[in-house]
Amino acid sequence: MLKKINPTQTDAWKALEIHSQNAKHLHLRDLLQADPQRFDKMHVHLESLLLFDYTKHRVTEETLSLLEQLFTEMDVRGALQSQLRGERINETENRAVLHTALRDPRTEPLLLDGEDVRALAKSELKKMLRFAEAVRSGRKRSHTGMRFTHIVNIGIGGSDLGPRMAVEALKPFSDRALTVHFVANVDGSDLHECLQKIDPETTLFIIASKTFTTQETMANAEAAKSWLIQQLGDAQCVEKHFVALSTNHEKVATFGISKKNNFGFWDWVGGRYSVWSSIGLPLCIAIGSKAFESFLLGAHNIDLHTENQPFRQNIPMLMAALGIWYRNFLGATSHVVLPYDQYLHRFAAFLQQADMESNGKFVDRSGNAVDYPTGPILWGEPGTNGQHAFYQWLHQGTECLPADFIASVHPQHPLHAHHAKLLSNFLAQTKALALGRPAADTAFKVFEGNRPTSTLLLDSLTPYALGALIALYEHKIFYQGVVWNIFSFDQWGVELGKEMANVILPELEGEESLGKHDSSTSALLEYIRARTKD
């Protein structure tokens, strides 16, 4: 089980507080100038995969050793072992957290309640890979005997963001004869627009929902089913055109999807960590089983990396520690992720759920309100687009926040001149943010600099590299949650709004008098009802 330690009571935290008073005055310009060897000491290179450079951070050797001490006092390595061993570290839901087992090629049993989770994961993976290949090869046919050309994933949150981001990221590796669509929103325009683009005879619907009770997903799934039956004029078509990805076999059966067409997973896979499970099916169909296995392996190798490397060579630990430094000691309220890669245009959206649903918590592991900030706002957009939108704020705004710059040395397209331009911007931005321009003819042109950045430079954005990239962030999020003494794997904060929506829905649709609400909600409800009467 995870220890319940208030991080502010550790020696390292207290020392970091004192240290931060001086460190506030450090400038990256001086740090970079004072030590020409700074890069040599502050980067991690994973051969033929990626380079992580943390030279441009407002830290000294003392900062880093205090952060390392904090990690030791908070026992982050012990916590990782608890996770990997399958202890029920998601205490408020009484669940283990074993998404790492889904990408673990090792065959030694890993037991949870007497069951070997590695073996379970492998057998479900095999079923999914076989199915994906059958769709890709055309062996799996539609109700009218046609090849599938459209795949529609209906799911939301973790049952959408991971596969959607990964399908976009790995487009160059995908079978272009298949188009993968994603429908998430309960706003009917999402499904409506998708239905305009697909051919009912050649469309496979994937209903992705861990619980198979999520309002948005079930509404879209039911509507898609009715639409298909109406289009094909035969209720039997559901058997060939619908599959489910879910832990809730009963509900899947009630919906009308047979057991063989349900690709299962387990309660020890959190929604936002589920892209490695059968939730990855749309990706697997898009890129094929070999590439999907490579995606899993890339993540597994990061699991081994973070388990075994010392702090100063451990990328997720460094990412987590630097984030804590800015959040808790230098007052940063947000963290920006800037992929200079159009294929990663959904990466920040994916990370938003992974990070903010995990660490957006104000209650510690003992049930007390924390008296220190926990997870920051995470946001981002691809470069160079962001440069023409919000970078003004990054360079000359009044807040200083850490940024992750991500790019690949080799592009996945043949336009090499474009890539040189992209990378020149990529390098120029982190340099400009760090050094600024202290003197100018007017104050309006002054750049203070001292804006910290990490650089994550992939060799190229392959399935293996994407798996590794996601896993780096997953472990970062985990370590931060451990240090903040919060539970990172529950999400009670999404419940209240859902409950209230269930009360409001019949009131919105019905004629009866309204229940008790605050004056604003009642007035808005009445307003909508009055305007939708006829």
Smallest distance from ligand F6P to CB 81, Å: 25
Taking CB under 6 A as the binding criterion, the range among 203-211, 233-241, 255-263, 335-343 that sits at the site for ligand F6P is 203-211
- Name which of 334, 389, 348 is nearest 473 in CA terms: 348
Determine whether 498 is an active site residue: yes
Closest to ligand F6P by CB, 242 or 405: 242
> 415: burial class by Cβ within 10 Å (0-12, 13-18, 19+)?
exposed
Task: Find the Cα–Cα–Cα–Cα dihedral 433, 437, 438, 442, rounded to 10°.
Answer: -130
Smallest distance from ligand F6P to CB 135, Å: 22
The Cα-based distances of 212 to 68, 251, 258, 493 in angstroms read 42, 6, 14, 19
Instruction: Report the distance separating Cα 94 and Cα 88, nearest Å.
Output: 6
Cis peptide before 374 (omega within 30 of 0): no
> Is residue 278 a contact point for ligand F6P (CB under 6 A)?
no
Asked if 1 and 87 count as a contact pair (C-beta separation under 8 A), the reply is yes
Smallest distance from ligand F6P to CB 47, Å: 34
Asked if 120 and 145 count as a contact pair (C-beta separation under 8 A), the reply is no
> Is residue 449 a contact point for ligand F6P (CB under 6 A)?
no
Structure tokens at 169: 């990221």
Query: Catalytic pick from 47, 108, 250, 388?
Result: 388
> Is residue 450 a contact point for ligand F6P (CB under 6 A)?
no
Structure tokens at 462: 């392959």
- Applying CB under 6 A, the site for ligand F6P has a residue count of 14
> Is residue 6 a contact point for ligand F6P (CB under 6 A)?
no
Structure tokens at 229: 């039956």
Asked if 322 and 454 count as a contact pair (C-beta separation under 8 A), the reply is yes
Binding to ligand F6P (CB under 6 A) within 349-368 occurs at 357
Question: Please, what is the Cα angle at 98 between 454 and 7, to 5 degrees?
Answer: 55
Q: Which of 202, 214, 384, 429 binds ligand F6P (CB under 6 A)?
A: 214
Q: Which of 63, 100, 142, 209 binds ligand F6P (CB under 6 A)?
A: 209
Closest to ligand F6P by CB, 58 or 272: 272
Taking CB under 6 A as the binding criterion, the range among 157-165, 336-344, 470-478, 513-521 that sits at the site for ligand F6P is 157-165
Q: Which of 70, 97, 112, 158 binds ligand F6P (CB under 6 A)?
A: 158
Instruction: Report the distance separating Cα 470 and Cα 403, nearest Å.
Output: 17
> Is residue 210 a contact point for ligand F6P (CB under 6 A)?
yes
> Is residue 305 a contact point for ligand F6P (CB under 6 A)?
no
> Is residue 451 a contact point for ligand F6P (CB under 6 A)?
no
Q: Which of 96, 117, 125, 156 binds ligand F6P (CB under 6 A)?
A: 156
What SS3 state is found at 121? helix
Q: Which of 95, 272, 305, 335 binds ligand F6P (CB under 6 A)?
A: 272
Contacts (Cβ under 8 Å, ≥6 apart) of 522 = 514
> Is residue 217 a contact point for ligand F6P (CB under 6 A)?
yes
The Cα-based distances of 516 to 497, 507, 512 in angstroms read 16, 11, 13
Residues near ligand F6P (CB under 6 A):
156-159, 209-211, 214, 217, 271-272, 357, 491, 494
Active-site residues, by number, are: 357, 388, 498
